[in-house]
Amino acid sequence: MKNISNTLLKSDVCLPQYDRSRLVTRIVHLGFGAFHRAHQGLFTHDMLTKTNSDWGICEINLFSGAPLIQALRQQNCLYSVVEKGVQETEVKIIGAVTEAMHPADNGIDAILEKMAEPQVAIVSMTITEKGYCTDPATGKLDINNSLIQADLSNPKAPKSALGYIVQALKLRRERDLTPFTVMSCDNVQENGHVAKAAILEFAQLLDAELRDWIETNVAFPSTMVDRIVPAATEDTLAEISSLLGCDDPCGIACEPFRQWVIEDNFVAGRPDWDVVGAEFVQDVVPYEEMKLRMLNGSHSFLAYLGYLGGYEHISDTMTDAGYRKAAFDMMMKAQAPSLNMPQGTDLESYATLLIERFTNPSLKHRTWQIAMDGSQKIPQRLGGSLKFHLANDSDFSWLATAIAGWMRYVSGVDEQGNPIDVRDPMADMLRQICDQHDHNISVVPALLSVEAIFPPELGQNPAVITAVSKAYQSLLDHGARATVAAL
């Protein structure tokens, strides 16, 4: 394929170097979002370049994103990835996608039938924390979730990712077909266990025998994924168009670095992603915790405090010596001590690499974007290390400042009195709490008492309340920049 949108591509664009006609839909992926396009989609493309594999991907968006799926189909399921380093930029056309579907276009039954096709070996997903429909405090399925309630009342017309997966597995069981592997690629700690627990709980509510069959026959490997992929803006798409020589509404830009650690647990085969840098391991947990705490935790720190400090992008925060030093110290003094890594892991080198990645000015990763869904992210990114420091009576002021920054952010008003567009499943409830206290440190214990985010051993701990209150008062008195510098 020499073009997208019937326009000749520029000569330096890297086209697929394999015969796409040989590809078969062996992976169905739920969530054709920015991260998947720049990560799993690209890994699969690079693997196809180096092997004679036939592993193709059917991309599915279940909710919004119908125009993106339609655009992908119109350009023969090709899309572009721009890897933007500090020194150079590489443009690739990704050819790993075989099909693209959306329930609004294809119908629910067609998607279920696709997932039930005999050759489909993996159903993967990047559906964000919200997509698992679990209670963040307990990890259990949230049976009051509107999607779950709808799926329980009409399981043959599912709305949630869990509903689709369980119904497709039901079809495979009825047809005596090998089940597929369910592989989560989300930034969720032990994502395979989370997916398995939610799916088994959901299946139990529908059919106890089906639940037992899934538990016995389906694999749920955990994965650790890492690559900085900012959401595509109009400016990003315009830049991609100039680099390609044509428009690509599915295009995405990302950093050159990428990492993928995968638990080697598959029931129907898997692609050889390891030939292009993925790592298959027996236990993903230490790598997940390293990334969630050091990268994602410091990202959240920079997102809330950076936004409040007037910085639009993560790279902007890195131009401020106070933020740069505080982010590194948070990684090494607050997060690294809480980790239990395999022998020989160099966490200081990892932290140094993360600072370099955050500094990349070619990536416009908005603090506002990373600040989304904090109620879902804080328990995983900060909770484990907070427990460690409480148990060891050690300094967690960076964690307390990050939590205080989140509290100040979800009030919905910035330091200049401008409104903040807070995107969070619990935004309305959090805003009501903040409004009752009107930027007073009395809001701290009130927000810490939200058990879906802070379990009682954290939220009601006097040391946590004191440390977060101190940081919150500093934000009120001195602002984010001075508070960060004081760390």
Question: What's the pLDDT at 58?
Answer: 98
CATH annotation of 285-486: 1.10.1040.10
| Paired strand residues for 320 | none
Read off the pLDDT of each residue in 211-216 and give the average, rounded to a whole number.
Answer: 98
Res 11 pLDDT > 90? no
* pLDDT at 6 (0 to 100): 47
- Residue ranges of the domains in the chain? 3-281, 285-486
- pLDDT value at 166 more than 80: yes
> Per-residue pLDDT averaged across 414-435, rounded?
96
> Distance between CA 431 and CA 422 in Å, rounded?
9
373-382 average pLDDT score:
93
Average pLDDT over residues 458-472: 98
Per cent of the chain over pLDDT 90 is 89
Mean pLDDT within 108-132 = 96
For residue 7, pLDDT over 60 is answered with: no
Of the pLDDT bands very low, low, confident and very high (cuts 50, 70, 90), residue 10 is confident
Average pLDDT, the chain: 95
Indicate yes or no: pTM above 0.75: yes
- 3-state secondary structure (DSSP) of residue 186: coil
Is a pLDDT exceeding 90 seen at residue 413? yes
Residues written for the chain: 487
Q: Provide the CATH number for the domain formed by 3-281 in this structure.
A: 3.40.50.720
Banded model confidence at residue 32, pLDDT cuts 50, 70, 90 = very high
CA dist 8 to 15, 53, 68, 423, 454, Å? Answer: 12, 28, 21, 39, 54
Q: CA dist 363 to 21, 293, 306, 314, 341, Å?
A: 34, 22, 16, 9, 29
Give the DSSP letter string of 107-149.
-HHHHHHHHT-TT--EEEE--TGGGG-B-TTT-SB-TTSHHHH
Given a contact cutoff of 8 angstroms between Cβ atoms, the answer to whether 468 and 400 are in contact is yes
Model confidence at 343, in pLDDT bands (50, 70, 90)?
Answer: confident
- What is the model's pLDDT at position 3? 52
